Structure 1
C-alpha cells in the first residue's frame, strides 16, 4: 500500500528493480533521498538526466562511455599488446580495468549463450568479435565460470580454430559459479597472469 503518494511509490518500484535492491531496501533508499532532497535527490536527478543524454555504447567493443569509440578503444597504446580480452558484460570489463590488467583491449559480448533462456549466437556480439579477432595475437576468454560461460567460450574457440590465433582463458582460480564483477582485484590479476591455452 502506498503511504506517500504515487510519485514516491513509483520511485520505490523503480529502485526495487535495481540489482541488490528489493522493496524494503528501495523504500529505505527513497526515504533517505527524500530526507536529503537538496543534497542528494536533486543532484542525483540532474546526474541521471545528463547520463541519459551522454552515455552510449562503444561501436567497437561494446563498452559504455560518453564517447564512441570509447576511451579504451581510442587509446593507441592499448593495441600494442596484441591481447583482446572477451567478457560477458560491461561490469566484467570494469572489474578487469580496476584490477589493472595492462594495456589490453576488450570485447563485450552482451551476455552468454543460454538455449534454455532462448539466447543464441545472434543475440550476442559474436559476429563483431569474430571479425575483430584477426587483428590480435591472443584472445583471452574471460567468461564467468558458469555452464553458460564455458559453453560460450567453447563456441568462440570452435569458430576461431584454424585461424592462427592463440586462445586462452582465465586460470581455474576463478571459483566455479563465480562472477567476475564480484571478485577482488588480486584474484582477477592472478587469474589473468595464470591463464592457459584452450
Structure 2
C-alpha cells in the first residue's frame, strides 16, 4: 500500500508481523492510532518496548515471566506429580481459567513442524525430558491442539514419557479435530480436561 510518509509505511509494515493482520488491517490500525488515538499509540509503544526488554521465559515451565521462576512453579499447593504440556501461554491460561487443575505446566512455545524447521530443540523438549527424569512426575497430560502438527507433537511426547514409565493422558472429547484450544469455550475445555484418556 503506497503512503506519502516513510514512517507511516514503516508502521504499517511493522504491524503486519501480528497474526491475522494483512496490509489492509495494518493500514486501518495505523491510521486509527495516528488519527484518533495518539495517546493509545504511545502507551502501546511503551508497553511493547518494556515487554520486549523485560519479559523472558520461566526456567522451569518456559512460560513468559519477568522473573527466573514464575510464582506458580514454586507454589507448594500445586501437585508436581501431574504435568500438563501445552503449546503456548494462551492454552495454559485457558486451562487454568476453565478447570480446577492444580498440577504444573510445561509450555512448548509451538509444536513440532519439521517442514518449518521446528524440531525438539526449538520446543525445549530436552528441558521437559530433564523434568520427567527427576522422578516426581507420575502423569503427563498432553494438551495440544488437534492439528497435524499437534498430533506429531503428541506422539513425540507420548514416546518420551512412556520410555520413562510415566502415565500419559490426552484431552478427551470436546476438542474438535483441527481445533485450537484457546478458541474453545470454557465448558468444552472443562469437559475435555475432566474426561482425558490414556494415550
Q: TM-score, normalised on structure 1? A: 0.90
Equivalence for 1:191: 192
Equivalence for 1:156: 157
C-alpha distance in 1 between matches for 2:114 and 2:41: 41
C-alpha distance in 1 between matches for 2:98 and 2:171: 14
Kept in 2: contact 1:99–1:188 (CA 8 A)? yes
Q: Judging changes above 3 Å, is the alpha-carbon distance between structure 1 residues 15 and 62 closer, same or farther for their aligned structure 2 residues?
A: same
Equivalence for 1:122: 121
Equivalence for 1:51: 51
Equivalence for 2:12: 12
Q: Output aligned runs, 1:22-101, within 5 Å.
A: 22-78=22-78, 80=79, 82-101=81-100
Question: Deviation digits for residues 65-108 of structure 1, max 9, x if unmatched?
Answer: 22221232132222x26221001222222222232442221101
C-alpha distance in 1 between matches for 2:115 and 2:173: 26
Kept in 2: contact 1:87–1:142 (CA 8 A)? yes
Structure 2 gap segments, 5+ residues each: none
Q: Judging changes above 3 Å, is the alpha-carbon distance between structure 1 residues 119 and 54 closer, same or farther for their aligned structure 2 residues?
A: closer
Paired residue total? 197
Displacement over 4 Å in runs of 4+: none
Equivalence for 1:169: 170
C-alpha distance in 1 between matches for 2:9 and 2:71: 38
Across the aligned residues of Structure 1 and Structure 2, the Cα RMSD in angstroms comes to: 1.8
C-alpha distance in 1 between matches for 2:139 and 2:56: 27
C-alpha distance in 2 between matches for 1:114 and 1:52: 25
What SS is found at the alignment partner of 1:122?
A: coil
Kept in 2: contact 1:142–1:169 (CA 8 A)? yes
Q: TM-score, normalised on structure 2? A: 0.89
Q: Judging changes above 3 Å, is the alpha-carbon distance between structure 1 residues 118 and 46 closer, same or farther for their aligned structure 2 residues?
A: closer
